[in-house]
Structure 1
Amino acid sequence: MSNVDWQGKHVTVAGLGVSGIPAARVLHGLGAVVTVVNDGDDERSRAQAAELEAQGITVRLGDGDTLPPSTELVVTAPGWKPGKPLFAAAADAGVPVWGDVELAWRLRGQDGREPAPWLAVTGTNGKTTTVRMLASILEAAGLRTAAVGNIGVSLLDAVLGEETYDVLAVELSSYQLHWAPSLRAHSAAVLNLAPDHLDWHGSMEAYAADKGRIYEGNRVACVYNAADPATEDLVREADVEEGCRAIGFTLGTPGPSQLGVVDGILVDRAFVRNRQKQAQELAEVADVDPPAPHNIANALAAAALARAFGVEPAAVRDGLRNFRPDPHRIEHVADVDGVAYVDDSKATNTHAAEASLAAYDSIVWIAGGLAKGATFDELVTGCAKRLRGVVLMGADRALIREALARHAPEVPVVDLDRTDTGAMSEAVREAARLARPGDTVLMAPACASMDMFVNYNKRGEAFADAVRARAAESV
């Protein structure tokens, strides 16, 4: 269905949401006969349905499992699980299923413009930061670009909008990659792999396989994390174009075809004339904000993709200097009575929390929330020596408490038996009581937020508000 005449094509869009509604409108505008199916039938869904129906799009609420007759293509929201009956019915009928990313990929160039290449990023953690770093580097090189996909501008808008781009920095989740079988990036990176969303994918193997789809058909570079062998394994398994190279990044001294760190300098031994003997200085560690180890790794991955696209070293340096991280990502909130308070509410799984905890020497850790099936023994074992104390809250806090009892029994633990939003103020008070001058109170929950907050942003805001209130009290 690439470059087809959409006029009269019967397309079913699965889901009324941030991807489904734009997809329905785009396809209707191209002349397709669009039917939207949706599981929910609440007030919000009915309002959205009314808007689409006024444009001539059919909407079926409360019936997301039935394949409408005459369907020739299903376009699904990325979060819909592969095991839904709708997709089984599509498979039985020989009907292809695409996600919004696949749709955007297939629609590139249909308006006659030369499609912009995609530099794509996935991984369990660090995707958004790396893509935004990459976009900053590309902008510093004078290229017309945008951070798109699972972040910022929607891919459909980027592909079909009036703005033209030289290259796109694309964040892709495992869900999106699952439903994007024909995606072929210029270059791509898998930052890391750790158990996450296993309830959706069914197994770690399936999750990794979906992440690995990002390498399929790469033309120039497959960027992997030298500290995470599973990412290199995905490169080995990928079917890429002739001449595409495997490029590693490491926090240590890089070998040939790698980027790494030498004496506080980010260096490139991959995109130089003689990579056996030469290294190109790109930036200083101090140019990375914040210069935590996992964020330096993000910067190296972004730099590798930019260099694969031909960006000069000075633009890498300038782009990293210009970059400012999003809120709630290892964000320093305030210093109060000699104690630093850091908001990493975005650390919604154990892998992200592990990276955050590794950035500080003496920590009072605020943790807990929805565990999403995670276990915490490995995380606690790795950070036990850094912990001054722990404050727990949220629905699944007992799982962390039990891991602490097994692997760090000497660490003081405050267990807040509450899941209301006001618990954050008490958590900050208890953390302040445990902390000593020179310590860091780190909110890196290792869990999702929805048991107590709308999202991780609201959780981070609650933490920051509580810290600022404490700062005001101490004046």
Structure 2
Amino acid sequence: MDAPLVAAAPRDPAFAARLDGAPVCVAGLGVSGPPVVRALLRGGAEVTVVEARDDDAARRAAEPLRAAGARVTLGGADLPPGTGLVVTSPGWRPDAPLLVAAADAGVEVIGDVELAWRLSPADQTWLAITGTNGKTTTVRMLEAMLRADGRDAVAVGNVGTPVIEAALPGPDGRYPAVLAVELSSFQLHWSSSLRPHAATVLNVAADHLDWHGGLEPYAAAKGRVYAPGTVRVVNTADPWSARLAAEHGDPAAPLVGFTLGTPRPGEVGVVEDLLVDRAFTADPERTAEELASLADVRPPAPHNVANALAAAALARSVGAAPAAVRAGLAAFAPEPHRIAHVAQVAGVDYVDDSKATNPHAAAASLTAYPSVVWIAGGLLKGADVAELVRAAAPRLRGAVLLGRDRDRLRDALAEHAPGVPVVDVADTGPDAMAGVVAAAAGLARPGDTVLLAPAAASMDMFPDYKARGDRFAAAVGALGGD
């Protein structure tokens, strides 16, 4: 048998002890599945993986897990007999037959994050970030600030490193002192004992409503991040953020706001061109500490300044120095496809915000530019776009629509922005983006911004939002830049 699962005392030692010899089902072979299987095997569990797919990718993923000692069932969806615990992939809906069968049998169902929390060392600090938009940027900013402060910190979650891999000690017994954890609503739904040191809900807007069954349960899943004892970091401009902190958080825990305005005591915010702290100073009533300048935030769009303030509040909650906030922002490299300037062609700027996969994200991007030719469309996932179009109408020079649900955007533009010229691109082939960019270039004038902020998911036409952004950049490159 391998070395003990953790060299340091786990956060839930009784749970860790129960894993030895326990029959555990891992539902799904997604990104989180294989590292979860490996962690469970290290703990001595008897692991059975159930994966509904039976394709080449699933078979490739199954081979090393079988070699490590797990049983893997492909093309199935039944709960293995005798299962004592289910660890589900985040994407599995609660109404999946296997998960329903587990609930009916009284078998506990948890997610990868909950498993990581229970098995992680008791002295490891977690700082958690959730929200509809801005999670990845904020968690990366936070990681950079903590490292600038000399902390052994790692960004984990949907940013690339699975939580379970970073949370547990390696073969040498070492583990990161601090985790900056990006959490989805799916992961939080399957978490019950998670207790971060500090956490934030950046914002809440309609997204994944088909999975959760509505906005209220979606928001409630986000609100689970405000656990007993957790420092509550809230967006004062987002009603949901404050409401969830009040309804789900610990009223005895500190409440720290972040605002794009002048901060009050207990908040971080902006004074002229400076990011300042009036929450973690010795005398918040009478003093403030300078953290950084607006010029340190890249890109300096308002929603990204809010991300920087949220990250700063979380970093300050564990004692990071003000200078570390500035240094972290200076070291931070923005992720691709997030308000990324691609080129300027004939006096027109072309900007890739393909990561804007819902209306809330697109709205934040649109407010950053005064005159926009907007490229939008794809899979709207049930989201309403009327308010987005209504708010954006005054700054729209034109719009180019693509993707399966473009008709809903076209109808909203006809109702709320009737004077805005619209080009509807019906082509969904591999070269469609070239036609989209050409149409946008035809509508734009010098000084305008052609903005890819689709407000929709990409899978109707592209493998993912990254591929969509890459196609956009390639089409812009074909125009020839200044």
TM-score category of the 2 structures, normalised to the smaller one: over 0.9
AA aligned opposite 2:285: Q
Correspondence for 2:34: 21
Provide the rounded CA distance (Å) in 2 between the counterparts of 1:281 and 1:46: 54
| Cα-to-partner distance string for 1:209-263 (whole Å, 9 max, x where unaligned) | 10000011244x2111101111111111124384x21111111111111111111
Distance 2:165 2:392 in 1: 43
Q: Per the alignment, in what secondary structure is the counterpart of residue 137 of structure 1?
A: helix
Q: Which moved more, 1:84-93 or 1:410-419?
A: 84-93
**Contact 2:26 2:88 (C-alpha < 8 Å) held by counterparts:** yes
| Matches of 2:476 and 2:222, distance apart in 1 | 37
CA offsets per residue over residues 426-450 of structure 1, 9 Å max, x none?
A: 1111111111111111000000000
Q: Structure 1 residues 241, 407: closer, same or farther in 2, change over 3 A?
A: closer
Secondary structure of 2:153's match?
Answer: coil
Q: Check whether the contact 2:199–2:226 (CA below 8 A) recurs between aligned residues.
A: yes
1:180 alignment partner in structure 2:
191
SS at match of 1:304: helix
* Residues in 2 aligned to 1:239 and 1:91: alpha-carbon distance in whole angstroms: 27
| Inter-partner Cα distance in structure 1 for 2:94 and 2:200 | 24
Question: Residues of 1 paired with 2:33 and 2:296: CA distance?
Answer: 39
**Aligned match of 1:74 in 86, 104, 116?**
86
Residues 356-406 of structure 1 deviation map (CA, whole Å, 9 limit, x = unaligned): 000000000011111111121100000000000001111111110000000
State how 1:195-214 maps to structure 2 within 5 Å: 195-214=206-225
Name the structure 2 match of 1:93.
105
Pick from 268, 281, 302 the counterpart of residue 272 of structure 1. 281
* Structure-1 residue corresponding to 2:120: 108
DSSP-derived class of the 1:164 partner = coil
Paired position in structure 2 for 1:61: 74
Partner of 1:120: 128
Output the CA distance in 1 between the equivalents of 2:234 and 2:182. 15
2:251 aligned with 1:238 = no
8 A contact 1:188–1:218 mirrored in 2: no
Q: Structure 1 length normalisation: TM-score? A: 0.96
Tell me which residue corresponds to 2:155: 147
C-alpha distance in structure 2 between counterparts of 1:161 and 1:154, whole Å: 14
Residue 29 (structure 1) shift: 2.3
Match of 1:169 in 2: 180
Range 337-346 or range 88-97, more displaced: 88-97
Q: Is the 8 A contact 2:53 2:74 kept in 1?
A: yes
| Partners of 2:437 and 2:229 in 1: CA distance | 47
- Say yes or no: does 1:156 pair with 2:160: no
Q: Whole-Å Cα distance in 2 between the matches of residues 144 and 54 of structure 1?
A: 33
**What is the aligned counterpart of 2:235 among 215, 225, 231?**
225
- Structure 2 portions without partners, runs of 5+: 1-13
Instruction: Give, in angstroms, the shift of residue 203 of structure 1.
Output: 1.1
Q: For 2:60 and 2:151, how far apart are their aligned partners in 1?
A: 40
1:324-339 correspondence to structure 2 within 5 Å: 324-339=333-348
Q: 4+ residue stretches of structure 1 with deviation over 6 A? A: none
> How far apart are the structure 2 equivalents of 1:207 and 1:119?
21
Aligned residue pairs total 466
**In structure 1, how many angstroms separate the alpha carbons of the residues matched to 2:472 and 2:363?**
19
Q: Which residue of 1 aligns with 2:202?
A: 191
User: Is the partner of 1:214 in helix, strand or coil?
Assistant: coil
Q: 1:75 to 1:347 in 2, by over 3 A?
A: same
Aligned to 2:8: none
What CA distance in whole angstroms lies between the structure 2 residues aligned with 1:127 and 1:44? Answer: 28
Q: Is residue 2:371 matched to residue 1:362?
A: yes
Task: Map 1:344-359; keep pairs closer than 5 Å.
Answer: 344-359=353-368
Alignment map for 1:406-445 (pairs within 5 Å): 406-445=415-454
Q: Which runs of structure 2 are paired with 1:284-303 in the superposition (5 Å)?
A: 284-303=293-312
Q: In structure 1, the residue corresponding to 2:127 is in which secondary structure? A: strand
Once the two structures are superposed, the pairs formed by residues 3-22 of structure 1 within 5 Å of their partners are: 3-22=16-35
Query: Unpaired runs of 5+ in structure 1?
Result: none
Task: Choose 269-278 or 330-339, whichever is displaced more.
Answer: 269-278
How far apart in 2 are the matches of 1:466 and 1:102? 43
**SS of residue in 1 equivalent to 2:224:** helix
CA distance in 2, matches of 1:153, 1:61: 25
Match status 1:463 vs 2:472: yes
What is the aligned counterpart of 2:142 among 134, 153, 165? 134
Amino acid aligned to 2:70: I
* TM-score normalised according to structure 2 size: 0.94
- Aligned-partner Cα distance in 2 for 1:115–1:14: 29
Say if 2:47 is the partner of 1:34.
Answer: yes
CA RMSD of aligned residues (A): 1.3
Q: Percent identity?
A: 59
Instruction: Give, in angstroms, the shift of residue 5 of structure 1.
Output: 4.1
Residue 159 of structure 1: how far off its partner (Å): 1.7
Per-residue CA deviations over 1:69-99 (Å, capped at 9, x if unaligned) read 1111000000000111212211121111110
Q: SS in structure 2 opposite 1:2?
A: helix
Mean alpha-carbon deviation: is it higher for 441-450 or for 41-50? 41-50
Distance 2:56 2:151 in 1: 44
Alpha-carbon distance in structure 1 between the residues aligned to 2:36 and 2:218: 25
Residue 343 of structure 2: SS of its match in structure 1? strand
Q: How does 1:371-386 map to 2 (within 5 A)?
A: 371-386=380-395
Please state how far the C-alpha of 1:156 moved relative to its aligned partner.
1.4
Contact 1:390 1:431 in 2 (8 A): yes
Question: Aligned AA for 2:242?
Answer: E
